[in-house]
Amino acid sequence: MPPNFKIGIDGGGTKTECILIDATGTIVARHVAPGCNPNIVGNDAARTTVTAALAALISSPALSSQLSTLSSSPIMATQLFMSGAPAFWAEFAATLTGFGHVTAAPDSLPTLELATHGRPGLVLHAGTGSFVAARAPDGTVHYAGGTGWRFGDPGSGYELGRRAIARALLELQGWLPPSRLGPTVRDHTELGDAADARALTRYFYAHAEPNRVIAALAPAVLRLASEGDHTAHQVLIESATELLDLATHVAAKLFPTTPLAEIPTGLSGALLTHATVLAALRSRTPLPLTPITEKPIEGVRLLLLRA
């Protein structure tokens, strides 16, 4: 019998990570490509990125010897866990041949798997974007938020950067007391110390990739908050708390008879698992917030094993 290889892909807005596992669940090949969210890069670029990533993955030494001796593909199944446009990815999955049984699902599932291991519970994720995913007591999976950078994505890198810039602009206009956010935003744009609010506003509105450059400000805001800057801390907690409020609403609706303190709840992503954010959120909810240390691709591996 041919080897029982499986392929899993975690396709997001920032990167596309692919793994090839054997029958034991061991990762025997890995490939990382640029982001493939069609809402950001467009359908053609998304399709090209994933197609090229799959080609690179199956060119690995782990498969090359198998392909040279077998008349059929040794790949039994391929699972795509993708951000943006579910219908697009379902259509794309249907076009793939030579990759076994191919399915497409939201990129929230691997993170939910890491949080609940197939059991009922929640996960809050904040990276460049954000979402809440949940598995209800009846086993159904639900998704909340994740509407994209144009519509907020509370707790995300983009939303944190947006809030920081909005605050800094009002400071530079003279309407709010100055903080370290103003100089930090200036440094981020590299426009120089003389740049005023108008110049900074023009920079962000005219940028070819506003979502990326705004989200890239998030690490600096995290750093300021961890150094004790009150304004940065306030901006950070306001953004993360909005995502927590959404998760609390989801939990109350899906688990109406279960105390919040008994609902497994994972936190995923550098923003939510940051010590400053974690401490603040835990003080605001009875949900048992547990940081997830594994990367989403490990959730992909676990899902491949359970398929």
Coil, strand or helix: which one is 258? coil
Query: Which pLDDT does position 73 carry in this prediction?
Result: 66
Q: Say which amino acid occupies 265.
A: T
Query: Which pLDDT does position 1 carry in this prediction?
Result: 42
**Average pLDDT in the chain:** 92
- From the list 162, 167, 245, 163, the residue with the least C-alpha distance to 205 is 162
Which residues does the chain have with pLDDT short of 70? 1-3, 62-73
Nearby residues of 188 by Cβ (< 8 Å), 6 or more positions away: 213, 216, 217, 220
Query: Which pLDDT does position 212 carry in this prediction?
Result: 85
Query: Which pLDDT does position 46 carry in this prediction?
Result: 97
- Cβ-contact 200, 171 below 8 angstroms: no
Coil, strand or helix: which one is 291? strand
What distance lies between CA 182 and its chain's CA centroid?
28
pLDDT tens track for 195-253: 999 999 999 999 998 888 999 999 999 999 989 999 999 999 999 999 999 999 999 99
- Considering just the CA atoms, what is the radius of gyration of the chain in Å? 21
Domains detected in the chain: 5-106 (3.30.420.40), 116-292 (3.30.420.40)
Query: Which pLDDT does position 148 carry in this prediction?
Result: 78
